[in-house]
Amino acid sequence: MPIVTVNIGNETKTFSVVYGTRLMDLFIDHRIDTGGTCGGKGICNKCLVGIVGTRNETLACHYYVTNDVTVSIKSRQSKPIYNSMPTVYESTVTEGFGVAIDLGTTTIALYLYDLKTNMLKDSCSFLNPQAIYGADVISRIDKCLSGFLLAENEIVIQAINQQIIQWLSVFSITEISRIVIAGNPTMLHIIANVNPGTIGSAPYTPVFLETKTLMGKECGLLSEKIILLPSISAFIGADLSAGMISSGMLEAETSLLIDMGTNGEIILKKRDFYFGCSTATGPAFEGANIEKGLGGIKGAIARVTFNTGKLAFETIGNQPPIGICGSGLVDLVAILVSEGIIDETGAFCHNSQSQLANHLNADRFMLLNGIYLTQKDVRQFQLAKSAICAGIETLLNAANVDVDAVNKVFVAGGFGFYLNLDNALKIGLLPKVFHGRIISVGNTSGLGAAMCLLNPEKIKQVQELALKVQTIDLMTKEFGFTERFIENMMFSI
């Protein structure tokens, strides 16, 4: 039987495999992340691995093992947590240690609190290891339906426990009393070891939406008690219901809370009434369906500027650039639209007089070091930005709210925190009339979870708010989403 040796950073693993085993299947079985985003379907072209002893790289999903081989995989690290969490909140808990978790599809953020002093002791974030099963919730659901529910559950439990074990050692803690988790419904189902299959197809019915309390022994997490915060609907999760209490939206008469992650989730507050919708952005803002796109990992281009005829880049961790993440993509597209490299329809314009015109090569705009933007990438971006803007406009229309009546717009999440708001408005990701009203509020999901960790009364408030939200189906014809979606595909020149 052939032997496969895998080098991941400083770690080496060895496997004996059946002749003809596909390399990607080996990696999925052993939970090894190659950076692929399609769950092994062979369509993302991102699972590149090096063949040691040669100068060749190959896609793991296209490589079948017929001889002994040694492969190398780049270690992937996520960016630091994308906000400045306050260290103290109102608390009604008097002892022990607790952890608040934002369980994102792409990134998981954890916050350790001393419940006696209300103080934040430490925090960390890392990429969700479930990414080997696909970048978005639909891919994760499909894998669960194919028999991978327990695998997806175990890999995320193991990752969280690993961090908790480190904290127990570093801070000489005996045990964690409670964990409070916010996340989208699919992530919450999986961590509860409940199959989310019914979320993935009509009529899109979750097994549970309400607050769920588990015991550590029951679910495998290293805590006495685990509380999953309530979701609003199949595609509007506890990350939004938690964000409602932590973002500041409740203080405004008319406000919007927008989370632009692997799914676009929007909550509208109109006096004492709440409306919500979910719009299918696809994972473009997380870099998943962009050919040289990345999530928020070290080396990802997070900001792009154009001055004195030159492009400049800022990468996460100040590392050499290896790809581009969502915020950098917004900057780049805004520059290319302004320079006439991309026309109003989204097509590359080869007769542009811009100094950047020489970066165009057929259907690619070349940045540097093999990093580029394709015409297909631009189309994926247009779909995502149009879905967000059309979703906002349709939600306002359904709730009979004029766009000018919105007092505050709270943009949540890692992508939103690093987003250049001027560029977002310029390219039509957000309605231009929101200029001056937008506030980037960072990880409101983790912040809301922390508030609930320290004050259990907040859990009741989140549950009440979740039940108040009237979910708007954007596909209802009279709301006009389709027409708005088509209109917002265009760029303003």
Nearest to 175 by CA among 112, 126, 124, 109: 112
> pLDDT digits over 372-420, tens only?
999 999 999 999 999 999 999 999 999 999 999 999 999 998 777 778 9
Residue 291 in this model has a pLDDT that exceeds 80: yes
Predicted TM-score of the model (pTM): 0.89
Higher pLDDT, 14 or 10: 14
Rounded average pLDDT over 228-250 = 96
Rounded average pLDDT over 176-192 = 97
Two tokens at 79? Answer: 């960016």
Rounded average pLDDT over 430-450 = 94
Residue 115 in this model has a pLDDT that exceeds 50: yes
Rounded average pLDDT over 464-469 = 98
Residue 260 DSSP code:
E
pLDDT at 85: 54
Is residue 324 very low, low, confident or very high in pLDDT (cuts 50, 70, 90)?
very high
Is residue 82 very low, low, confident or very high in pLDDT (cuts 50, 70, 90)?
very low
- 285-290-294-299 Cα dihedral, nearest 10 degrees: -120
Rounded average pLDDT over 221-244 = 97
Rounded average pLDDT over 64-89 = 69
Nearest to 348 by CA among 319, 312, 316, 374: 374
Phi, psi of 400 (to 5 degrees): 60, 50
**How many angstroms separate the Cα of 225 from the Cα of each of 105, 173, 179, 439?**
23, 16, 6, 34
Residue 200 DSSP code:
S
In whole angstroms, what is the distance from residue 455 CA to residue 459 CA?
8
In whole angstroms, what is the distance from residue 97 CA to residue 342 CA?
52
> pLDDT digits over 92-111, tens only?
666 799 999 999 998 899 99
Percent over 70 (pLDDT), the chain: 96
Rounded average pLDDT over 166-194 = 97
pLDDT at 86: 52
Average pLDDT over the chain reads 90
CATH architecture of the domain with range 3-73:
Roll (3.10)
Percent over 90 (pLDDT), the chain: 69
The fold of 97-228 is Nucleotidyltransferase; domain 5 (3.30.420)
Decide: residue 161, CB within 10 A, 0-12 exposed, 13-18 middle, 19+ buried. middle
Two tokens at 23? Answer: 């390399």
Is residue 35 very low, low, confident or very high in pLDDT (cuts 50, 70, 90)?
confident
Higher pLDDT, 75 or 410: 410
Rounded average pLDDT over 426-446 = 93
Higher pLDDT, 294 or 130: 130
Q: Could you tell me if 309 and 329 are in contact, meaning their C-beta atoms sit under 8 angstroms apart? A: no
Q: Where are the beta strands (DSSP E) in 95-223?
A: 97-103, 107-114, 119-127, 178-183, 212-215
Rounded average pLDDT over 217-226 = 94
Domain boundaries, given as residue ranges, for the chain: 3-73, 97-228
Least confident of 184-188, 240-244, 368-372: 368-372
Higher pLDDT, 193 or 36: 193
pLDDT at 369: 82
pLDDT at 285: 81
